[in-house]
Amino acid sequence: MQSSRPKPSPREKAAQRANFLTALCFLAPAVLLVTVFLLVPLIYNVWISFTGWAKFSGIDRFVGVANYSQAFSNPKFFEAAGNTVSWIVASLVLPIGLGLGFALLLRGIRGAEAFKTVFFVPRLLAPTAIGTIWYYVFADNGTLNAMLSGVGLGDWTRSWLYDPLMITPAMIIAHTWQTTGLVMVLLLLGLAALPTEPLEAAQVEGATPFQIFRHIVLPMLLPTLLVVTIISVIAGFTTFDLVWVMGRDYPNRSTLTLAVHQYWETFRSNRWAYGASVAVLIGLIALLITWVQTLLQQKLEDRAK
């Protein structure tokens, strides 16, 4: 460690200044883009959320926190928040659980590449296309009901997408189908990067496969799992496409997530200022989640040191 630096000579100072200017030139396009397309709209959105917005005349007055208190007294907002929590939990448990299972199963078996490709393919489709495909799986005259009738389980057929207990699980199944492949590939990469010595040592010592997984593989895989967790939480939190395609028309909009609620209020109901306040709340929640995850990551890194 250096406690005191020698004073830079005038030549060095000039060089530093030139360096700084060069850096600034390189930075300028990025700074400009981020400012114009991210910061300004963000600040503008926050400003809108404190105003009243009349449909054809635009911002017409400052209303303080009225839009926010409307959100907190709106049962639809809480319903959407509750649905979003189910989505986050489901996208944590299902894609990661299944992805990890597939990754462990496929590790080192013959034809693993083919299986990996098959599991990964849904990831390549646009979520809207996935929603449409699964809409027709669950539709009244869709694949699922046809299959059930075909095997003599006609009594089990139902309007899956209009059943209050089935609609969100149906959408989550579609989501899991799409996201498991990516999680699996990331975990396979994580598994491939593990050092082999501890595993071999454990085998020599006579540990059972479960013990090896629980005490050696899982702890070493934690950093990868954390990355996968972050991706999954964000995917669950920002779910829009699937809900829009499969659950938008569900009576009373009781299947919407926060993101869809915000879109609906803004563009369908033309309540732009209220929509802006919901957007700010979504942003704050996302910030909070990211903060918790950063803390966890920090902890994990500290432990690894």
Partner 1 sequence: MLKAFKTGIAAAVLTAAAVGTAAADGPKLYHDKYFWQESMQRMATFAAEKQHPFEPTPYATDQYQAFIATGVQSGNPPDLFTWWNGTKLKELVDSGALQPLDDLWKEAVDAGQMDPSAAELYKVDGKIYGVPLHLSSWVVFYNKKLFDKAGVTPPKSWDELLATADKLKGAGITPFVATVQDGWRGFIWFEELLIRTDPETYLKLNAGEASYTSDAVKKVFQIWGDLYAKGYFTPATSNEEVLSFARGDAAMYLMGDWAIQNIVEGGLKPGDDFGAFVMPNITPDLPAAVIGEGSPIVVSKTGAAKPEVADFVRWWMTDEAAAAWAKDPSLYIGNVKAPKPNVIVKDVSEALAAAKARTLPRYWEASPSDIVLPAVEEFNRFMVDPKPAVAEEVMQNVQKIADDYWAQHKQ
- The least CB distance from residue 7 to partner 1, in Å, is 55
Buried b vs exposed e over 134-153: b needs ≥16 C-beta within 10 Å? bbebbbeebebbeeeeeeee
Which two structure tokens, joined as six digits, stand for 122?
Answer: 């849904």
Number of residues engaging partner 1 in binding (CB under 8 A): 20
Residue 73 within binding range of partner 1, rule CB under 8 A: no
Residue 267 within binding range of partner 1, rule CB under 8 A: yes
In the bound state with partner 1, the residue whose beta carbon lies nearer, of 200 and 249, is 249
In the bound state with partner 1, the residue whose beta carbon lies nearer, of 22 and 270, is 270
Per the CB < 8 A criterion, the answer to whether 183 and 232 are in contact is yes
Give the separation between CA 215 and CA 238, rounded to whole angstroms: 34
Q: Mask: binding to partner 1, 161-190, rule CB under 8 A, as x and -?
A: xx----------------------------
Per the CB < 8 A criterion, the answer to whether 259 and 238 are in contact is yes
Span 239-258, contacts to partner 1 by CB under 8 A: 248-249, 251-253
Determine which residue in the list 140, 193, 215, 292 makes contact with partner 1, applying CB under 8 A: 140
Reduced to 3 states (helix: H, G, I; strand: E, B; else coil), residue 51 is strand
The total number of residues shown for the chain amounts to: 305
Per the CB < 8 A criterion, the answer to whether 120 and 184 are in contact is yes
Determine which residue in the list 7, 29, 30, 56 makes contact with partner 1, applying CB under 8 A: 56
Residue 200 within binding range of partner 1, rule CB under 8 A: no
- The least CB distance from residue 157 to partner 1, in Å, is 11
- The least CB distance from residue 247 to partner 1, in Å, is 11
Instruction: Name the nearest CA neighbour of 97 among 7, 176, 192, 2.
Output: 176
Residue 55 within binding range of partner 1, rule CB under 8 A: yes
